[in-house]
Amino acid sequence: MKGIILAGGTGTRLLPLTAVTSKQLLPVYDRPMIFYPLNTLIQAGITDILIIVAPDHSGHFLNLLGSMFRKFGINLSFIVQKSPRGLAEAFILAEDFIDGEATTLVLGDNIFEDDFTEAIRSFEKGGRIFAKEVPDPERFGVVEFDADGKAISIEEKPSSPKSMFAIPGVYIFESSVVEVAKGLELSERGELEITDIHQYYLKRGMLDVRVIEGAYFDTGTHESLFAASAYVREHDFRSRFDPRINEALADFNAEFKRLVSLRK
C-alpha cells in the first residue's frame, strides 16, 4: 500500500494566512496541519508516502519534512502540482509512484478523530471510501444509502442533497484508479472530479462505503481551522499520534534549538 497526501491548492479562503505559506503548514494547535494526514497513513503502516504540493511553497515542505522520518524507515517523496485540476488528478500525477500498488489518498487539510488502520490494512480490491454525517452536505460529495445501508448514489456538491452523509478526504483504491482517472472528462467546474471515480467503482459493484463516527474537520476556513485546533487541544490528540511522529518532532525541535544556539 502506498500513501498520497494532496497538499496543493492556493488556500484563498484562508488569506492572509496562506499568503506566506501553504495551508497544510498552518498550525492546528501544536503542530503543522500536514502531520495529521501523515499520522493517518503512518499509523496504518504505510511507509512510502508522496506529498503533492503547490509550487509557491514547495520549499517550505522540504525544509520541514525533508529527512525527518528517514531513520524510522518512512520514505517521503514530493511532486509539484503546477495548477490544481481536481482531486482525481492526484492519481495521474502519482502514476509512477503508485507503480501498480493500491494506494490511500488523504487530503492534506482534513483532520479525523477516527483511526483508519483496520480499513486500510484490510483493503483488497476495488475502492473504499467513507461517509460522515454533517450539517452541510451540500459542501461535499454526498453518498445516498438504501434501507440496508448500501450505497446507491454519489453526487458532487448537490444543491438538494439526498442524504446528510458527506464523503470526507480519505480514499483507498486499487492500482486501476490511475487509468480510471486518466479516462475522466473535465467537469463543468473544469476539474477532474474524485466523485466520478467513486461513481465508476460504485456502478461496477466495487465500492465499499464505511460510515465514520468521530470528529471530522475540513480546515479550509478560519472558523474550521480554529474549531479543529480547539478540539485537538481539548481531546489530547498528541497522545493519539504514532510514536514515530512524536519522536521525529522532538528530534526536529531539539536540532532546531541547537542550531539557533550556535548562531548566538
| CATH code of the domain containing 91 | 3.90.550.10
Write phi, then psi, for 83 (nearest 5 degrees): -150, 130
Is residue 264 scored above 80 in pLDDT? no
C-alpha 97/C-alpha 214 separation (Å) is 31
CB atoms within 10 A of CB 77: 14
Q: Domain of 154?
A: 2-263
Confidence of residue 190 (pLDDT cuts 50, 70, 90): confident
Confidence of residue 153 (pLDDT cuts 50, 70, 90): very high
Is residue 9 scored above 90 in pLDDT? no
Q: What pLDDT does 196 receive?
A: 95
Q: Grid coordinates representing 51?
A: 506529498
Distance of CA 257 to the CA centre of its chain: 30
Could you tell me whether strands 127-133 and 110-112 are parallel, antiparallel, or unpaired per DSSP bridges? unpaired
Q: What pLDDT does 113 receive?
A: 95
Q: What pLDDT does 65 receive?
A: 95
Q: What pLDDT does 203 receive?
A: 96
Is residue 188 scored above 90 in pLDDT? no
Q: If DSSP codes are grouped into helix, strand and coil, which group holds residue 197?
A: helix
CA-to-CA dists, residue 195 to 23, 122, 126, 166, angstroms: 23, 23, 15, 11
Q: What pLDDT does 238 receive?
A: 86
Residue pair 14/109 in contact by the 8 Å Cβ criterion: no
Q: Average the pLDDT over each of 10-14, 90-94, 159-163 and give the range with the smallest value.
A: 10-14
Q: Average the pLDDT over each of 10-14, 30-34, 103-107, 166-170 and give the range with the smallest value.
A: 10-14
Is residue 36 scored above 80 in pLDDT? yes
List the beta strands (DSSP E) in the chain: 2-7, 27-28, 31-32, 48-53, 75-80, 103-107, 110-112, 127-133, 141-145, 151-156, 165-166, 170-173, 207-211, 216-218
How many separate domains does the chain show? 1
Residues of the chain with pLDDT > 70, as a percent, come to 100
Q: Grid coordinates representing 189?
A: 467546474
